Amino acid sequence: MTHIEDTQSEELDIIFQDKFLIAVHKPAGLLVHKSPIDKHETRYAMKILRDQIGQWVYPAHRLDKPTSGLLLFALHKDIASQLSAAFEQRLISKTYQAIVRGYTHEHGDIDHPLKEIAVFKHLQKQVEKKAPKDARTQYERLTCYELPYSDGRFPSSRYSHIQLRPETGRKHQIRRHLKHISHPIIGDVKYGKGEHNRLFNEHLNSQRLLLAATQLSFTHPATEQTLNLSCPLEENFQNCLASLDQYRPQV
């Protein structure tokens, strides 16, 4: 039997577009571009957007596959180079939201160097010899919750909804930093806690990484205007927050 590929076109929500840039809302579970690590994946944001607007696009930065939110592309190669340089020089302000285990401090500044992550196993020893690079993430707590369900250690379970601003751009920086301060992100199968991921799955029907890119602020490389882009939380993230609302501690 001949396999017939589903030709139904997929589209991404466009947050901003001009003749130089385009910003979209990337759903959780979608790759930014083709990756040798996920060879089986045929869906990725770069291809979907290219087909959607009929024009080649250049990714200006990356979001992890399980992270949703604001993703910026350039429509010209030179603009992409300028944006990449701006990200590297920390001239672009990035804001994220996450739900994490435990009650965090009201404000925090995580200053913890991170080692490079090897893309392939055969490069691991080579990468491990390198010194860690500086990495810094600021956060503030928006809300906290106490759920009447045991995580296996305590009769109830506590969580925080936080906003984060990474000042550097190391791979998996936010996820690794939150693990470092013992507040891992819910739904993180690599750096998180299985008992809390399962609790959210069972009681809140949440199976995703609860991390989303929500804002980008930067100077437009062509017009030199200040751009403040914002992206709503994906529906499944919003539904999770709505379910959590009943568990806010009574003041």
User: To the nearest 10°, the Cα dihedral for 214, 70, 60, 64?
Assistant: 90
Residue 39 exposed, middle or buried by CB count within 10 Å (0-12, 13-18, 19+): exposed
* CA R_g for the chain: 19
Token reading at 132: 């860690």
- 141: Cβ contacts below 8 Å, ≥ 6 apart: 103, 104, 105, 106, 107, 160, 161, 162
64 is catalytic: yes
In this structure, how many other beta carbons lie within 10 angstroms of the beta carbon of residue 34? Answer: 13
Torsion over CA of 64, 70, 73 and 79, rounded to 10 degrees? -110
Q: Which of 6, 38, 51, 64 is catalytic?
A: 64
Instruction: Please report which helix (H) or strand (E) contains residue 184, including its range.
Output: none
Enter the tokens of residue 29. 């579970």
Residues with a catalytic annotation lie at: 64
